[in-house]
Structure 1
Amino acid sequence: MSALAAIRILIVDDHPFLREGVRRVIETQEDMVVVGEAGTGEAGVQQHAALLPDIVLMDLQMPGLNGDEAITEIRALSPRARVIVLTTYEGDAHAVRALRAGASGYLLKSSIRKELLQAVRSVHAGGKHIDAQVATNIAMYIASETLTEREIAVLSLAAKGNRNKQIAFQLSISEDTVKAHLKAMFAKLGAADRTHAVTLAAKRGLIEL
């Protein structure tokens, strides 16, 4: 297949070894070609504008502009752009944010060798490709009660070691309100205590540690 007819791919990830590994997998295929690489979200947006690839493979956690923000900017400039997220995050909240930003695929880096090529072809054809475990997590996310912005703010401060009094002061609310938010979060997350709630929320991508 000629280079013009091949699926043109841009890789955006801040780890050179990961980019090299992905490139090697893609280069084994006659119907795909890597047309560019970027190590930051900002560079990814610029490269997309310059190259207009068929598919962008996008990491989520990068210095500066993160993956979600880069996807949003790319889609704002090119509404038909097709982006597949490559990440270590299997949490449902991370996936939901990426999909809401406009990603068409969500793939765990641990599954690259098994699923990457299928994901690229599927998304290029207009479909979507989401890692099976992540899809299950999303289904559970949709079925469960979500945390409010204030509850997430309380838990984020708790995760940093703040006591209820300190959380109340920083958010300009009463200690009783902090306790009420924590109690509600324990119920929603199925957590036994504050530490358990922080662990569960971090795993789901609701808060950053």
Structure 2
Amino acid sequence: MKQVQRSHTFRSIGAAINRDKRTIQNWYAKALVDEKCAEIGAIDERSGARMFSDDERDILLKYYVELPTSSRRHTKPTRPELEICDGTEIVTLDTPEMGGAIDLSQFAGGGIIQRIDDPDRVVEGVSSFLDQVLTHLDRDLEEKRSKLDKTAQAREQVSDKVREFAFRSELYRRDAQAIAREQNTAASDLSTMLEQLAQLGKPENAA
């Protein structure tokens, strides 16, 4: 089976057409409904980002509509003219021009708004940082488990040796005592027999 190559993200698709990541995510939500599917693309296990193939990217780009050009946005409206006739006299009144700089703070009521410049980048940075911490936590636990396994194994081996030593030392004690008793008996018997042999043929009252 041919593996699907996915190299596009929400951010890269948006950057290619001058749209932000949130806009592409909104298109993704619409595409799920229109395509009647539970998922488009796949989550990358290493980065945690959703990745898209060329075909999957094209599904999202169906919702792309080109923004009006800057020249169209800033075209000045046609100036209307008002003519007042008083006999033969004609007076032309100019309408005031609209546009220019507008200070939105006058409508917002002032105040200070704090914000993070790029929240998506913050999320990616925090995720990357914590993923590294979690990796070290997992590695540390693995090392601790390995040490525990080796220590437990050593304990079992030492315990077996201690039990073996206790058993064999007890056997040694009993065997040594039995040999000592037999040795003493044999030596005593031998000494008696030698003494008897030494008295053979001698008068009973011999000094």
| TM-score of the pair, normalised by structure 1 | 0.18
- The structure that has the greater radius of gyration is 2
The TM-score normalised by the length of structure 2 is 0.18
**Which gives a bigger RCO, structure 1 or 2 (Cα 8 Å, sep 6+)?**
1
